[in-house]
Amino acid sequence: MTLWAAIAGVAACLASCATPPRPAPPAAAPAASSAGASAPAAVSPPLLDDWRDAVLYFALVDRFADGDPSNDADVDVRQKGTFHGGDFVGLTEHLDEIASLGVNALWITPVVTNIPGFVTGAGFPDWAYHGYWADDFHSLDRRFGTEAQLKALVDACHRKGIRVLLDVVYNHAGYGSRYTTDPRTRGWLRTTEKGDCGQDDVTSCVAGLPDFKTEVPEVADYLLKAQIGWAKELGVDGFRLDTVKHVSHDFWKEHRKRTRAELGPRFFLLGEVWGGDPQVLDPWFEGDELDAGFDFAFQGSAIAFVQGRGRTVAFDRYLKSREKVRPGYLMADFLSSHDVPGALFQLGGDVSLFRLAAVLQMTAAGIPVVYYGEEVGRKGGDWPDNRSDMPWGDRRIAPGAGVPRDEGLRADYVKLIAIREAHPALRRGTHEGLVTDGDGYVFVRRDPASKDAVVVCVNRGAAPVGVTFPAPAEWGGAKPVELFSGAPVPAAAGTVTLELPAHGFRILAAR
């Protein structure tokens, strides 16, 4: 249904978008065994039950994989600001590329119909391939695919044990959107053309985009019912919420109330509050408006540390400070994203340092977010190069066919994610620094509930370094093992001494 066929009867239109909640599909039961029977039916992995255990993969739909060339409108892979053809079918066809990493959650960019043309403020034609410039909240952008194709993607994710977060935008519409010109809706927005944009976070027109007056009940109701309607229809498991601080707390409280009532109490809300950290995000946690928010400090802190900038003890204090998040709420951290230059780019393409940063991410508290392609060495760069195509190497997958990829780095990600999954201490434990002076850094993560303890050792220096530290009491005198390689680790009288190679690391637990 399009907005323009229904907007004259807003209330009726919104009601029609609300369909009964669609629960996640249950795991398939194994087939009964009998002599001569065929092989048992495949059993779906269980879906994530506790978001503390999540590893989240973020895919920009248009730049991942083109599975249906028939929807390739406005595609020109030679230009940075155009559509490149990625779609729901491509994501579904190559979902194993994501699932085989071991991740258990997927975040996809917004899917509603975006403005049909481009803007030139960046100095080149810049299209809405990213999905953040909405033109109609009641239809999907056909350049990504159909409702049936998106539902098939969500269902395929659930069969592989992957929950899905849909990126949604409440704050603004796209440049020149029909919402700003239609007499029935143009009063819903503040615009630079009308000169009524405010100066504060809530009433400003972010990047000159038309700003929805979400404080107006009619506007808020329209937006809420539209996005909740999509969640019901598609069966997604949560929202990634864009530009959170540019919408009022009253709106987010109503949003939480409605999502819980209509989508269930476990519907997950991950919010983007620019500059977020435990203190910045706390007003949204205090009001129970979000379940989690992004830690914008993690990328810069991790990059600076592995580059040798700053004291090791200061980085250790930063990791410890991340425990100050309000109980029951979570931080999500990233090394790269669609809004900032990628970590590998900032590290000058040094894969050994990037690998160290990935080790720190996968062994730190919070939800680690993997930005599509960084796991195979996609450098990213300054905008818009941070939104380049997924590298597929010699696989004939558009739009990134022929783009080199680092399979060795990907294999390291698989190991790191598996180690995180195997150890509760890494997903929900406390942090304590053991060696915090010089380039050799050692910390322990502990989970009292499971009595699990994991020691992480990294050397950010360009020369080998020795470290000595006490074995955690949780090991009970057992010999430690290096989890990444499986090699035994010598230990004597409750003390461990290691030599870490240049830019090397060790992750230890009791055998």
Average pLDDT estimate for 131-155: 98
Buried b (16+ CB within 10 A) or exposed e, 410-433: bebbeebbebbbebbbbbbbebbb
Per-residue pLDDT of 33-75, as tens digits, reads: 333 344 555 678 999 999 999 999 999 999 999 999 999 999 9
Say yes or no to pLDDT of 399 above 90. Answer: yes
SS3 call for 36? coil
What is the DSSP code string of 382-436? Answer: STTGGG-PPP-TTS--SSSTT----HHHHHHHHHHHHHHHH-HHHHH-EEEEEE-
Q: Is the pLDDT of residue 32 over 70?
A: no
Please state which architecture CATH assigns to domain 430-510: Sandwich (2.60)
> What is the residue extent of each domain of the chain?
3-28+42-428, 430-510
* Mean pLDDT score, 459-474: 97
pLDDT at 41: 57
Task: Using the predicted structure, report yes or no on whether residue 354 has a pLDDT greater than 60.
Answer: yes
Query: Is pLDDT at 12 greater than 90 in this prediction?
Result: no
What confidence score (pLDDT) does residue 492 get?
A: 85
Q: How far apart are the first and last CA of the chain?
A: 58
Percentage of the residues of the chain whose pLDDT score is greater than 70:
92
Q: 102 in the Ramachandran plot: left (φ > 0), alpha (ψ -120 to 50) or beta?
A: left
What average pLDDT does the segment 222-249 reach? 98
Which of the four pLDDT bands, split at 50, 70 and 90, describes residue 11?
very low
Q: Which of 2-11, 214-223, 440-449 has the lowest mean pLDDT?
A: 2-11
396 exposure class (CB count in 10 Å sphere: 0-12, 13-18, 19+): exposed
Write out the two tokens for 330: 């979570």
Tell me what the mean pLDDT of segment 93-105 comes to.
98
**Fold type of domain 3-28+42-428:** TIM Barrel (3.20.20)
- Whether this prediction's pTM lies above 0.95 is answered by no
What is the number of H-type helices and E-type strands within the chain?
14, 22
| pLDDT reading at 1 higher than 50 | no
